[in-house]
Amino acid sequence: MKTAQQIANDVRAGESALVAVEASLAAIKARNEELNVFLYVDEDGARTAAEAVDAKVRRGEDPGLLAGVPIALKDNMCTTGIPTTCSSKILEGWKPPYNATVVDMLAAQGAISMGKTNLDEFAMGSSTENSAFGPTRNPLDPTRVPGGSSGGSAAAVAAEMTPLSLGSDTGGSIRQPAALCGLVGVKPTYGLVSRYGLIAFASSLDQIGPFASTVTDAALLLEAISGHDPMDSTSLPEPAPSLVAHVNDGVAGKRIALVRELVEGADDAVVASVNRAVEVLKDAGATIVELSIPELHLGLSAYYLIAPAEASSNLARYDGVRFGNRIDGDDVTAMMEATRTAGFGAEVKRRIMLGTYALSAGYFDAYYGQALKVRTRMIEAFAAAYQQADMIIGATTPSVAFTFGSKTNDPMAMYLNDVFTIPTNLAGEAALSVPFGTGEADLPIGVQLLGPGRSEARLFAAARVLEIADGR
């Protein structure tokens, strides 16, 4: 499949957007039954949108940055009249009355939505095994997971069904599947991309971001969806940054920190890839410093109090009354209990109960309040690190993609997949994963680059250096 940039250039030059759409539909039909990537494919809508892009080109108008580019949307982003389920039985068949802001922004830039992709239910998971509609399989090895929670969006790009997709990242849910599927995945600075219409898991952590097969395509997509949105009270009050223009800036003169805690416990092959990436960046003109940020060890514990607490509050709206599915009972309490019992899966119930406990009277200060203090410590620790370095490098995941069922019976083993990605969400800063090297069974390894808020341009530039060195 062509890159997004190539498709957009070809469409502007007069090639019909329908060419790319039909190629995408053919790829989806070829492997979707095997991989379970798309929960809903909008064939008619995609063709109609492509025809509208072609009409703009014929009129001499610019269709936008993503002219005619097929894109997949994680099924936790609202789409008018199109099912949005969060891969949960409690929202099965629900059709929102409005679009998420990013959906409208994509349309305004000429992108063609192909449909909605599978995820861990309500974005709670690291393997896409928690979906109520079955797991998604890794296109590179269908016996293994694609990562999560945005596993469907990652698999869509890895299987060349679409050149781009959008996921959401609460504790690593873009970067982790990007690493396991050999893609570029970006968790933007909190507030850079609107969350309006993103169905909330943990509101202070969630952020929408891109998957792409190249650094340039990822930068192009992030540029297209960034910018202030008055509908989102947490949206940064500034325009979209210039990103594509800086992809080839390089790293000469940049200070890059190798942080010990972001490789500790990783497989030998992952550590070797990170070390090799450090050497590549050094050869490209960067100054390498070694740092320790001991506070990062506290990230997992703080996250699994803060995120479930926010989920407990956010998911209270699914009560069988206002919207979504409903199971009748003898009274309101029985109806709500029956609806939530049948509607939520095991992992969602686990996190709701954990979060409710952490927020309960007598335990709030000891658990949730303490976790917020740890979060502040982590923000301060990152700020101190960025006084000594322009960006940080480490591993994205401890290992390559693992086999189905190998971690489902041990929640802690599953949670540890996000140990390197969670700190950035707690700090609200920027990070991306770029493929660099391979490990077990020749499966891809992701190297993670982290930076302070609004540092996406320099992260893309460093990622591009690694991309070139990796032969892509």
Question: Catalytic residue numbers?
Answer: 74, 149, 173
Q: What angle do CA 411, 412, 414 make, to 5 degrees?
A: 65
Q: Are 164 and 221 in contact (CB under 8 A)?
A: yes
Q: From the CB of residue 208, how many other CB atoms can be counted at a distance below 10 Å?
A: 29
Q: From the CB of residue 245, how many other CB atoms can be counted at a distance below 10 Å?
A: 11
Q: Are 157 and 146 in contact (CB under 8 A)?
A: no
As a whole number of angstroms, the distance between CA 127 and CA 411 comes to 12
**Parallel, antiparallel or unpaired: strands 430-438 and 184-187:** antiparallel
Q: Is the sign of the CA dihedral 404, 409, 410, 415 positive or negative?
A: positive
Total number of residues shown for the chain: 472
